[in-house]
Each structure stands twice: as structure tokens, then as C-alpha cells.
Structure 1
Amino acid sequence: MTADARRQETSQAGGLAGRIALVAGATRGAGRAMAVQLGAAGATVYVTGRTTRSAVSEVGRSTETIEETAELVTAAGGTGIAVPTDHLDPDAVADLTARIDAGHGRLDVLVNDVWGGDHLMGYPFTGKMWDFPLADGLRMLRLGVETHLVTGSHALPLLVRNPGGLLVEVTDGTEETNRTYRGHLFYELAKWAPIHLARMLGQELAEYGCTAVCVTPGFLRSEAMLDTYFGVTEENWRDGIAKDPHFAISESPLYLARGVAALAADPEVARWNGRSLSSGELAAAYGVTDADGSRPDAWAYIRDVVYGGRQASAEEYR
């Protein structure tokens, strides 16, 4: 860990002491990292998902579990509580929020990161909407949209009990960046929805002194991205650049997680109400970095280089 990274961890330590957080979809990737960083700032963090040490979700990865995430939260300095939850099951989510209510009587931070639809994308998909299996597309919408609605319906009444509550919707892209169609209609619909949820719920939550924000990572080095798509680890991730030069702009899950932890601890977080923010924008606002001390701005790189044709290296955007 660099000296800058150590200063970041120290500055965040205790900033969320006494706060109660729920990270819905915390099995792996950005969800896991956000749960751990909220814990590192002192929060009690409920972590949910479908993959446990005794059950595996349709994603098919048994190597990451919610129990492990909870243990990482506790090891980071918080209190991690794993609750197996299918967020398409309203009764299960109702039981989850009732448990939080009974234990604490409050919810201060809700991170709505449920997804689990990458395996349905048919990557790389290059056809038209009608070429895509309809059942898979509708399942993606259930996983990426319905889960967020179910979770919000049950958890937000607990969040609005106290002023200062924060809803963090997690997606892929911001309102600005997603104006470029990436060619997968079902995926685009699923990823636009959290942006609109944050904008609309921001108006509803403001009445209670609460805030809604949508956040996105850039080119995320999730566990699946590393081992399934690039055949690398976090330690040698740069070897993946040979397969895709744009992988050079990628970021670890820690990057977004640090930004979200800083967002949650910000006493003036309401200034972001209804906005969609990238990890790069959060880093600029709060001074956080990725694990290597860099501040990648993947969406600016994608706009300028990938779609805009600018001749520039990823290092210019780090």
C-alpha cells in the first residue's frame, strides 16, 4: 500500500462509526469492495447476495460468498453481517429489513448493487434486439431493475426515519456517458434504470433530508473480468493489455469503494442529490485514489479515445 493510500484509509477510519449500512449485492466485485470500505470507516454493514458457502447462484461462481465479504468487513474494522437474500423475493427482502429494524431501528446507507446478469449477455453480442434470446433479456431486466425496486420498496421506509440517509444506486455508466448506445438493448435498459431511480428517488427522499446518488465504476477489474475474460490476477492484471489495449484504463473495485465511503461520510452529501457520478468524478471530488495511487478516469478515456478517435494512451487518463 502506498503512503497516499494509507493516508486515505486513516482519514476514513471511524468516519461512519455508529452508522448502519446495507449493501445489497455484496458477494463480489464493487459490491464487496464498497461493503469493506464502509466497514473500514466504522459502519455496521449488512451484506446480501445469493452465493453462500452452502449455495451458489445462477452466476455460477462459488469462489466468492457473502460470508467471506462479512468477514472482510469485520477485519477492516467494521461489523459485517451476512444475510443470504434473493432480492427478487419480496418476502426475503422484507425479512431482511425487519431484521435490521429489530437490531438497530435505523438504516443510514443503502447501496443497491444487485446485478448478476453478465452471464446472460452472450458476450460479445453484436446483433439486434430481436436476435437476442427474449427470455435472457427479460431475466436481465428482472435482475437489474426489479431487484432494485423490491429492495428500495422495503428498505427506504427505514432509511427515511432519520435525516441524512443515503441511497446509492450502482450501475454501469452515467447519464452523460450512457447517451452513446453500446449495442445491447436489454443491458442498456437495465443500466439506465438505476440512473433514473436515483434522479427520481432523490426528489422523493429530499423531503426527509435524505439523498439519492447513482455511481458507476469505469472499466472494472472484477473477479470474473480478471480470471474469466482476461486470465490474469490483480497482481499481474497489466498482462491483459495484450488482449485488449483499453484494459490499460481499468481500475480495481477499491477505487469506486473508496469514493462511495467518502460520499457516505460527507456531511454535505445532499449537494449530489439525484446525480450520477463515476468513480473518476468521485476521486476528483474526494481526493481518493486506486490501490496503486492513480486516479483513472475511464469514462473520459472511453469518450475521447474509444468513441472519439483521439490518439492518446491510457496513462494520460490515469
Structure 2
Amino acid sequence: MIGQIDTDHGRLDILVNDIGGEAYVEWGTPFWETELDAEMRLFRSGLLTHLHTAHAALPLLTRKPGGLHIEITDGTAEFNASHYRESIFLDLTKTAVSRLAFGLGHELDKAEATAVAITPGWLRSEMMLDHFGTTEDDWMRDSLDETRTEPPRDFAISETPHLLGRSVVTLAADPDRHCFNSTTQDTHGLAVHYGFNDLDGSRPDSWSFITALENDPAADPREFR
């Protein structure tokens, strides 16, 4: 694929490395009781794919100055430093993706390129809507409906994939984006910095809300949008 891009265009300006492995998490099982081969699927799909893709693409991305490498991760650096994700493999994979952007930022700096990790908040994807039995029109109402068990009340903080897309587009269009080199950014922080919103006009601050819940289980997600 990279060879075809080279043949067709002779350059690669932006790489967005976004491959997950959450479907392979074995929740609630201690690490030493998991089936190692099965759990390694998460590590291979959620991290090793990022390494393979970056290794193949970066020679082309660094051919000219100004390239942008974006790693999509889960959790801000601050949140991940103090919270465990209830699965050794998931915890290692998500924190390692941020660390990959950190390391690549140092190496790409020499090539006048930039590496940044971006985390969305609670992503309101089609898969999540289907899982909770709600729709893009009704998710907020259903989340706050006390007669329902799903979606959970916390789903009211969720954001559309468009917020992540707008984060990528706006960062790529910024000639001063190198100020974020080697860092992990979240969609809310970038929305505030650049002045854009989600489709409903809000700026969901998932990570602040999750932290607030630890001190106040009754925290209102609508106050963090």
C-alpha cells in the first residue's frame, strides 16, 4: 500500500494510526488465568499493528519536511498514569500507544516532522449505539432515563466520531502543530484550543467527568459538555 502511495503521489503528508483490539479483552480474569495466546490478539492488533504501519510508512512521510504522524489512543497521559484499565493487556496496549507517539516525536523532530497521540472521550460510535439499544437521536434521553439500565447514565458524556475527525483535521491544518510534538492530546482540549465543537455544538469533557465521578457519583454529565 505504501509503495502504491509512493507511485501515485511520491509523498505522504499525514498518517493516522488507529487500530484497536478491545474486542479481545477477557474482562474479570486475572492475568495469570487468561489464555495467553487468546489475549495476545489484543496486543498484536492494538499495538503491533501500529508499529508495523509506522515502520512501513515513515520512510515516505519523512521524505519531505512537515509530515504529521497521529496515534489514536485511549486516555490522557494524566488519566492513564493513575488509573488501571482492569486488563493487563489492554492497559499495556493503550499506554504503549501514547508512549509510541512520545518516542516517535523525538525521532521525527530530526526530520522536521511531528508525532502526536490523540484520545477521544467516550466514543458514541455505531457499535456503541447498537450495543446499548439506542440511536443517535435518542442517546441522551435514554442515558438519563432512570427506568432504563442501558445505556448507563454516564453515556450522556459521549461524543461522536466527528469530534475526533475534527481534531485530526484541525491539527493537520495548523502550521504551528509541532508545539504538540511528543504529547498526548484529548479531543476536548483540542476543541477548546482550536475553537470547534461536536455535531450538537457541545464540547464533551469525558476525562474530567470520569475523574469527577470518583469524588461525586452523582456528578451530572451535562455539566461537562
- TM-score band, normalised by the shorter chain? over 0.9
Question: Match for 1:121 among 18, 25, 31?
Answer: 25
**Residue 231 of structure 1 contacts residue 240 of structure 1 at CA under 8 Å; is this kept in 2?**
no
Q: Report whether the alignment pairs 1:264 with 2:172.
A: yes
1:65 matched residue in structure 2: none
1:236 matched residue in structure 2: 138
State the Cα distance separating 1:133 from its structure 2 match. Answer: 2.6
Secondary structure of 2:77's aligned partner: coil
Q: Which amino acid aligns with 2:130?
A: D
Unaligned runs of 5+ in 1: 1-95
2:190 matched residue in structure 1: 282
Greater helix proportion: 2
Deviations 1:93-125 (CA, angstroms, capped at 9, x unpaired): xxx00000000000000000012x222124xx2
Higher RCO (Cα < 8 Å, 6 or more apart)? 2
**Residue 31 of structure 2 contacts residue 88 of structure 2 at CA under 8 Å; is this kept in 1?**
yes
State the Cα distance separating 1:310 from its structure 2 match. Answer: 5.9
**Residue 108 of structure 1 contacts residue 165 of structure 1 at CA under 8 Å; is this kept in 2?**
yes
Q: Report whether the alignment pairs 1:142 with 2:44.
A: yes
CA distance in 1, matches of 2:71, 2:106: 14
TM-score (norm 2): 0.93
Question: Match for 2:207 among 299, 306, 313?
Answer: 299
State the Cα distance separating 1:204 from its structure 2 match. Answer: 0.3
State the Cα distance separating 1:209 from its structure 2 match. Answer: 0.8
CA distance in 1, matches of 2:179, 2:5: 28
Unaligned runs of 5+ in 2: none
CA distance in 2, matches of 1:232, 1:312: 22
Q: Which amino acid aligns with 1:137?
A: E
**Residue 120 of structure 1 contacts residue 137 of structure 1 at CA under 8 Å; is this kept in 2?**
yes
Secondary structure of 1:149's aligned partner: helix
Identity, % of aligned positions: 46
**Residue 213 of structure 1 contacts residue 274 of structure 1 at CA under 8 Å; is this kept in 2?**
yes
Q: Report whether the alignment pairs 1:208 with 2:111.
A: yes
1:315 matched residue in structure 2: 222
How much is the aligned-residue C-alpha RMSD, in angstroms? 1.3
**Residue 61 of structure 2 contacts residue 67 of structure 2 at CA under 8 Å; is this kept in 1?**
yes
Aligned residues: 218
Q: Report whether the alignment pairs 1:217 with 2:125.
A: no
**Residue 217 of structure 1 contacts residue 256 of structure 1 at CA under 8 Å; is this kept in 2?**
yes
CA distance in 1, matches of 2:34, 2:192: 38
State the Cα distance separating 1:240 from its structure 2 match. Answer: 3.9
Deviations 1:273-299 (CA, angstroms, capped at 9, x unpaired): 000011111111111111000001000
2:92 matched residue in structure 1: 189
Secondary structure of 1:161's aligned partner: coil
2:79 matched residue in structure 1: 177
CA distance in 2, matches of 1:182, 1:259: 25
